[in-house]
A = this chain, B = another copy of it.
Amino acid sequence: MILHLNQEIDQATIQALTDKYQAIHFVLENKHILVTPSKDKSIHAGDEKYVAQSWAMDSDIQLASSKYIPQKRRIAIAPNLIIGGDSNNTLVITGPCSVESEEQINTSAEFVQSLGIKVLRAGCYKPRTSPYTFQGLGLEGLKLLDKMRSKYDLKIITEVKDSSHVDEVIEYADIVQIGAKAMYDQGILKKCAKTNKPILIKRGFGSTLQEFVQAAEFVLSGGNPNVILCERGIRTFETKTRFTLDLCGVAYLKEYTNLPIILDPSHAMGYSYGVADLTRACIAMGIDGVLIETHPNPAVAKSDASQQLNHDQFKSLYQSMNAVAGAIGRKIV
User: A residues touching B (Cβ–Cβ < 8 Å)?
Assistant: 24, 35-38, 60, 62, 127, 129-133, 135, 161-165, 181-182, 184-188, 204-211, 214-215, 217-218, 221, 233-252, 254-255, 268-270, 273-274, 277-278, 280-286, 320, 323-324, 326-328
The smallest beta-carbon distance between A2 and chain B, in angstroms, is: 10
Please give, as numbers and ranges, the residues of chain B lying within 8 Å of A237 by CB-CB distance.
Answer: 206, 208, 234-237, 239
Beyond A208-B238, A277-B286, 6 additional contacts (C-beta under 8 Å) are A129-B184, A161-B187, A163-B163, A165-B187, A208-B240, A251-B277
B133 touches A60 (CB 8 A): yes
A218 touches B281 (CB 8 A): no
B324 touches A284 (CB 8 A): yes
A162 touches B161 (CB 8 A): no
B62 touches A132 (CB 8 A): yes
Q: For the complex, what is the distance from the CA of A160 to the CA of B182, rounded to whole Å?
A: 14
A217 touches B185 (CB 8 A): no
Closest chain B residue to A246, Cβ basis: B244
Per a CB cutoff under 8 Å, which of B185, B241, B327 touches A162? B185
Please give, as numbers and ranges, the residues of chain B lying within 8 Å of A268 by CB-CB distance.
Answer: 248
A24 touches B210 (CB 8 A): no
Please give, as numbers and ranges, the residues of chain B lying within 8 Å of A182 by CB-CB distance.
Answer: 184-185
B187 touches A164 (CB 8 A): yes
Closest chain B residue to A219, Cβ basis: B131
Q: For the complex, what is the distance from the CA of A221 to the CA of B243, rounded to whole Å?
A: 29
The smallest beta-carbon distance between A64 and chain B, in angstroms, is: 11
The smallest beta-carbon distance between A88 and chain B, in angstroms, is: 15
Please give, as numbers and ranges, the residues of chain B lying within 8 Å of A62 by CB-CB distance.
Answer: 132
Per a CB cutoff under 8 Å, which of B162, B208, B245 touches A248? B245
A206 touches B235 (CB 8 A): yes
Please give, as numbers and ranges, the residues of chain B lying within 8 Å of A130 by CB-CB distance.
Answer: 60, 214, 217
Nearest 9 A/B pairs, CB to CB: A206-B206, A251-B274, A162-B187, A164-B187, A284-B284, A323-B327, A241-B248, A181-B184, A60-B130
29 A-B residue pairs with CB within 8 Å? A24-B132, A36-B132, A60-B133, A129-B210, A129-B214, A130-B217, A131-B214, A131-B217, A131-B218, A135-B186, A162-B185, A162-B188, A206-B237, A209-B238, A209-B240, A234-B244, A238-B249, A239-B239, A240-B252, A242-B248, A247-B247, A247-B278, A248-B268, A250-B277, A251-B269, A251-B277, A251-B278, A255-B273, A327-B327
